[in-house]
Every structure is written in structure tokens, then in C-alpha cells.
Structure 1
Amino acid sequence: MERLEKLIEESRNIVFFGGAGVSTESGIPDFRSVDGLYRQKFKYPPETMLSHDFFAAHTAEFFDFYRAKMLCLSARPNAAHLTLARWEKAGLVRAVITQNIDGLHQMAGSQNVLELHGSVHRNHCLQCGKNYDAEWMLESRGVPQCSCGGVVKPDVVLYGESLDNGTLTASVKAIFEADALIIAGTSLAVYPAASLIDAYRGDRLIVINRSPTPADHRANLLIQGSVGEVLAALHV
């Protein structure tokens, strides 16, 4: 922890790259842990129900699953989100790159958040483009329909869909320019998001995760543990 504090204090351009493990302490389930969605029993595998093909072919079932399992609107930022927002305000963190779609980083106060997989808080009509918020989506029934009659789709990247090029470019640029890169709460199993860390060229690569990751051998500092607990314990 002392070494982590020293690395943070010596850095002026920190980029944080986070995954589902950042939000589990806020009560949002991840996918791959023991209690994750992939270990639960559904009619179809979660990765199937969260695919573009399933959305197109079984639209009503997609939305039933999406509203039940992906919309956790009562969740609030935890120590990890709050610490990162404080560091950004202090000029330490330049960007937060997240694979999460929950919007908790913004709720905590972070401004420069790059959402690789979109956000549940943005929804748009596929026909006219009208926007709807997450509360509207949660209260909808069946296939959510716009006032024009079109289907309202969440602005989240489904399996089989491409990531936004602008977000990808901005993320690679931020990582390339960072003097410290913190990878936390992610198994680095989802591509192409996980490959973005290859752009880092510095010598302050910090990995914080409960389980091993493919980046562990490259890390200058490796901490196995809860992201929120680790960041909350720092005196920075």
C-alpha cells in the first residue's frame, strides 16, 4: 500500500481502466465470479441474451432479461468511484475508462469518463432517434416503444456489435499518454476492450483485482483485493 501511495503521488497523468469488479461493491453483479450472471441458470446463456442477434430475434425476451438483470438503478457509487472522482478534481486522474454501463463514475463526480460499452442511462428510438432515460426504460413493459411507434434500444454495446470508434480512439490516446495506468476490477477477458492496455508505454502499471489477470506479469505493482477497499485505504 505504501508503494501504491508513492506511485500515485509521483504521477500527474493517471488513467484508470476498470471493469465489473469496480461496481460489485455497489451491489451490481458481475459476470464471471462465483455469484456472477454466468453462473446463474437462465433459459439461454446471458451472453446469448445480451447479443444483437437475440435482440433482433427475441426482442421481448431480451427486454425482460435486460430490465431484470442489467438495470440496477438503486446502486450508488462506492469508495472506488468516489476516490477516482476526488483524484480527478485534484488533477491526478486524466481519464476513467470503464467497461461498465452503470454510470456510477459520473454519479460520483468524474467528468472525463470513456464508456467502452455504452450506458444504461441513454436509450434512443431506432426509428426517430428520440432519447429516453433509464427510469423510463425500467418502467416500460414488453418491447419499449417510442411515441412514434419505434422500438427504444439501450445505448449499450451488445455481443456482436462494434464499439464506438470515437471512444476507442480517445481511450487509446489516454492510455498511450498516461504516466501511470491502473487496471482494476477486470478479468481482461472481454475484447477488444482488454487489448487497449497494450497502448501503455510507462513503467507504473498497477493491477488491482481479486483474481489473476493476463496483465499480471507486466505489472509494476500487483495487488490482489477489492478495488474499493484498496483505494479507500490510501492516504492520497
Structure 2
Amino acid sequence: MSSVEHLPSDEVSDDEASINNFFEDMLDAVEESDSDGSEDGYASEQLLSEEKCREMRTYLRAYGEQKFLKKYLLDNKSEASDPSELPIREVLYALGIRSSLVLEDLDETTLVQLLQLAITRELRRRISLDNVTTLDDVISLIKNSKNIVLLTGAGISTSLGIPDFRSDSGIYRKLEAMGLSEPQEVFDLHVFREDPSIFYTFSKEILPTVTRFSPTHAFIKLIQDNGKLLTNYTQNIDNLESHAGISTDKLVQCHGSFASATCQTCGHKVPGQELFPDIRMGVVSHCKLPASADADDSSSSTRKRKRKAAYDEDEDEDDDDDDQEQAVQESTLAGSRSLCNGVMKPDITFFGEALPKTFETRLLGQDIDKCDMLICIGTSLKVAPVSEIIMVLPAHIPQIYISRTPCTHAEFDVSLLGNCDDVVEYICTKLGHGWELKHEMITENGFNGEVAKTGERTYKFTRPSDAEGKEVRDIAPPKGD
């Protein structure tokens, strides 16, 4: 699940925030298209050599934004023989914006705004460590580290059939197919308060249906069992870390979970499973806690005062008829007020809702000083503030990335691309004694795929494919949930 990116209200206006979000989304889309090679034009033609691109990025970091723009944009533009050939496109290319659809079709004003964001991202980008570059380095780091921080996302649960949110087969696409024009509104706190039925109509799509955990969850448990887990920050709301045995004092559920729920009227908490029948039926779940005694006493006193006033005004009215009518009214009121009846909300973090306090207190109060290795697994790192962990931790701390697709907006020391379960199975095999990964879903004879170095600091994990191009996995049949 996701959480809203918090912007300081006294520094960024709503309009500015909307503009920033627009260009953030545009830049994310460009980086994704560039990483999968789906765009033509500049992505393959190369406006500048990679050596020149590195030179420009190095200059930006060394001399700052103003000198960078003067040297590579303003001076070049004034000397350009053809004013229509904007040097800004070359600068954007050097900063990693290489989509021909963007560089050719956007006007200069829009490109300038995009350039500002690209520069900001580049200046914030962490520089990879010179002494951590290979898969062997990753194995050595896990062996020797004592306080590993793990940041996990939906990719560690997809092998169990639990969809992510943003992929082509993810939750948001399903909600769109069900007729919801703005899928994220399902998880918007303001929308929930105005009309909780929207959430309850669609939330069955994200309701946890399994208690089994994946091999990647088991790998995290191994890190804990070997005394090396400092903290597991999870963005997932399926609560499978708890089923895998991750200790509560080692786990921060950044976006909450379905494990519990809270009444939005009286604050009463219940186990999340009590809401599941209502969620499956698509009906709003209400609080079944008895209404407060104070409220009942107050209502009773009011009714007594009204009865006395009515009696004083008409002493001749038939007492028996009045008492009988009043008894019926009180019975009706008592029935409607016997329960709190407030709307129940699962304790998952909605857009517009603050993250648990433990997120910030643990990260800044402990992990920033103790962490000696960061492993990000199965997350695209697109949702702040959780994604900011990679920039909050000191830059000298080794950072490893494990996921199906590369992360183009962050600088990891080593990226291991493939199914998360495959990668951790391979890692455990290399770690040796004490790291035996025992799980019903892993291959019986160890990882039988290929590991290829596909770029600097990047490795690709693939399995043999059958005639239809589907991955072949020699796995034991899963047990019941």
C-alpha cells in the first residue's frame, strides 16, 4: 500500500505541489520507458557519449547548479548556430532523460521545468561505493554485517499470487477495469470519511487471502535468526512478515496492515479479521461496541426533562397513554443508541494519513547510526516518505537492490534483477552453512537458472524457459494456507 508524500504546507502551495507531482510523474514515466528500452530515437541514437554524460554530471556535483547551467546550457545556447536546436535536450540527455517522445515533443518552457527536477534529483542522487561492485561483494557484506536494514515492497509477495499496485496486472489496473476512474481514491482518507462505501466496495481486491509466506520472507527470517537484522521496513499491508516470524521489535509496517482496525468514532480497536466478512460482501463495517454510558445518561436525562415539561403543560392528559407512548419512544431510541455504530477502518495507511510514529523515531533515533548495510527488495521506491530511507541513511552504507526491474532514479552499489525468490535462494546457497533456505516453494536442487552480469554493478537472474516462454520452476507443491 502507498502513503502520501508529505510536503511542508508553509513552503509549498497546492498549485506548486500539483506542478511538482506532475513533473515527478513525468520523470518517473520517462525513466521507466528508458530502462526497458521501449522508446526509439534518442534512447538508441545517443546525443552524447557516455563519457561526456559522466563529465557533465561530475561537473554538476563539483560546481553546483548555476555554474553547470552556465557552462552547458546558457553559453552553448548563445553560441548555437541554429537557435531551434536547443542545448537543453542534450543536458537532459546527460541527466538520463533519453526518451525521444519527451525530447522531441515538449516545448522549451516545459523542458526547463523538467530540467529543474532532473538537476535536483541528480544532486540528491547517492554516489555508488567504489569497493562494492560485484555479486561476491554482496555475499561478503551479508556475512560480515551486523545491523542490516531491509526495505521491502510488494515484490516479495507476488509469488504467492498477491498482486502489487502499479504493474500492468496490479491493483490499480483492476480497479480501473471495474470502472473506477481514479483508483487511488479508494485509499484516500478524505474520500473514506465522506463515503466509506467506496473503499468497502473495492477493498476485497486487496484483502489478504493467504497466511503462507514466500521464500523471500523466509530469507528475512534467516537474517534475523543469524542475529543480523536491525529493522525490516515493509510497505506491504498483507502482514505476512508476522506469519514468517519476523519479531515485532524488528518490524516497522510503514503503511499499516489489515491485522487490526479502528472505529472512526470512538477509537475502539478490533482484530482486522472481524471486518473481513463485510469487506468480502462489499458492505461498510460498523463498530459493535456499546454506546458510551455518558451518552446514554445524557439522553435519558433529556428525555426525562421533556417528559416533565410536557406533563406540566397538560396535567389533564391521560397519564397511562402518555407513559405508554414515551416507553415506545425510549425503546426505539435505546435500540438505535445501544451500539456505537461508527465506521470501522482497517489500520492501513491511507493517502493523507501520517505514517506510524515508529517509522521516524526508529529510523532517525536508531537505524541511521547503527545500520551497516541496506537491502531493498521488491520495491520500486516510488512512494515517499518510505523511499527517502535510501537518502536518509549515510551515503557510505552499502546499498543493494533486488527486484524484477531496475530502479533508475537511485544509485545502488549492486543491483540483482530477477524474481526475488530466485535471487535470495542463490544468495543463501553462496552464504553456506547456517543459511539453508528451507521453504516449500524453492527448487529442490537449488537455483537452476543463469546469473549473468548485464552491466556495471548489475546482474540478471533467469530460469530456463519452456516452449511457450514461461519460466520453469522445479518446486514442491505448496501446502494449504
Q: Same fold (TM over 0.5)?
A: yes
Structure 2 residue 229 is matched with structure 1 residue 93: yes
Q: Is the 8 A contact 2:371 2:397 kept in 1?
A: no
From 286, 294, 313, the equivalent of 1:145 is 286
* Structure 1 residue 3: Cα displacement: 3.4
Asked whether 1:224 is paired with 2:417, we answer yes
Q: Secondary structure at the match of 1:163?
A: coil
Q: 1:174 to 1:215 in 2, by over 3 A?
A: farther
DSSP 3-state at the match of 2:405: coil
* Residues 119-163 of structure 1: CA deviation (Å, up to 9, x unaligned): 111101122322222321111251101113111111111112121
The 1:47/1:176 distance shift into structure 2, 3 A limit, reads farther
Q: Which moved more, 1:179-188 or 1:45-54?
A: 45-54
Q: Which has the higher helix share?
A: 2
Distance 1:38 1:143 in 2: 21
Which is further off, 189-198 or 162-171? 162-171
Higher relative contact order (CA 8 A, sep 6+): 1
Question: 1 CA distance for matches of 2:410 and 2:421?
Answer: 19
Q: TM-score scaled by structure 1? A: 0.92
From 173, 185, 195, the equivalent of 1:48 is: 185
Which position in structure 2 is the counterpart of 1:182?
A: 375
1:209 partnered with 2:403: yes
1:31/1:125 CA distance change after superposition, 3 Å? same
> How much has 1:175 moved relative to structure 2?
4.5
Q: CA deviation at 1:46?
A: 2.0
Q: Which amino acid aligns with 1:90?
A: N
Q: Is contact 1:52-1:161 (8 Å) kept?
A: yes
Helix, strand or coil at the partner of 1:88: helix
CA shift in 2, pair 1:78/1:171, >3 Å: same
1:35-56 alpha-carbon deviations (Å, 9 max, x no partner): 1122231332321111112212
Residues of 2 paired with 1:79 and 1:65: CA distance?
29
Equivalent in the alignment of 2:6: none
Q: How many pairs does the alignment contain?
A: 234
Structure 2 residue 137 is matched with structure 1 residue 14: no
Superposition pairs for residues 1-236 of structure 1, below 5 Å?
A: 1-40=135-174, 41-44=177-180, 45-66=182-203, 68-111=204-247, 112-140=250-278, 141=281, 142-147=283-288, 148-172=340-364, 173-201=366-394, 202-214=396-408, 216-217=410-411, 219-233=412-426, 234-235=428-429, 236=431
2:231 partner SS: strand
For 1:196 and 1:185, locate their aligned partners in 2 and report how far apart those are by CA, in whole Å.
15
Q: In the alignment, is the contact (CA less than 8 A) between 1:50 and 1:62 conserved in 2?
A: yes
Instruction: Indicate the SS of the match to 1:122.
Output: strand
Secondary structure of the corresponding residue to residue 119 of structure 1: strand
Cα distance 1:199–1:34, how it changes in 2: closer, same or farther (>3 A)?
same
CA–CA distance in structure 2, aligned partners of residues 150 and 198 of structure 1: 40
Structure 1 range deviating more: 98-107 or 164-173:
164-173
Asked whether the 8 Å contact 2:149–2:375 carries over to 1, the reply is yes
C-alpha separation between the residues in 1 aligned to 2:398 and 2:168?
A: 30
C-alpha separation between the residues in 1 aligned to 2:223 and 2:171? 31
What CA distance in whole angstroms lies between the structure 1 residues aligned with 2:369 and 2:156?
A: 22
| The structure with more radius of gyration | 2
SS of the equivalent of 1:43 reads: coil
The alignment partner of 2:347 has SS state of strand
Q: What is the TM-score when the length of structure 2 is the normalising length? A: 0.47
Structure 2 runs not aligned, ≥5 long? 1-134, 289-339, 432-481
Give the Cα separation in 1 of the matches to 2:369 and 2:153: 19
Q: Provide the rounded CA distance (Å) in 1 between the counterparts of 2:341 and 2:147.
A: 47
Structure 1 stretches of 4+ moved >4 Å: none
CA offsets, 1:39-90, max 9 Å, x none? Answer: 2313323211111122122211211211x11212324210011111121021
Answer whether contact 1:52 1:160 (CA < 8 A) is retained: yes
Contact 1:209 1:227 in 2 (8 A): yes
Please state whether the residue corresponding to 1:195 is helix, strand or coil: helix
Report the residue type matching 2:179 in the other structure: K
Rounded to whole Å, the distance in 2 between the matches of 1:72 and 1:134 is 11
Aligned-residue CA RMSD (Å): 1.7
Letter of the 1:145 counterpart: H
Q: Structure 1 residues 175, 137: closer, same or farther in 2, change over 3 A? A: farther
Identity between Structure 1 and Structure 2 (%): 31
Unaligned runs of 5+ in 1: none
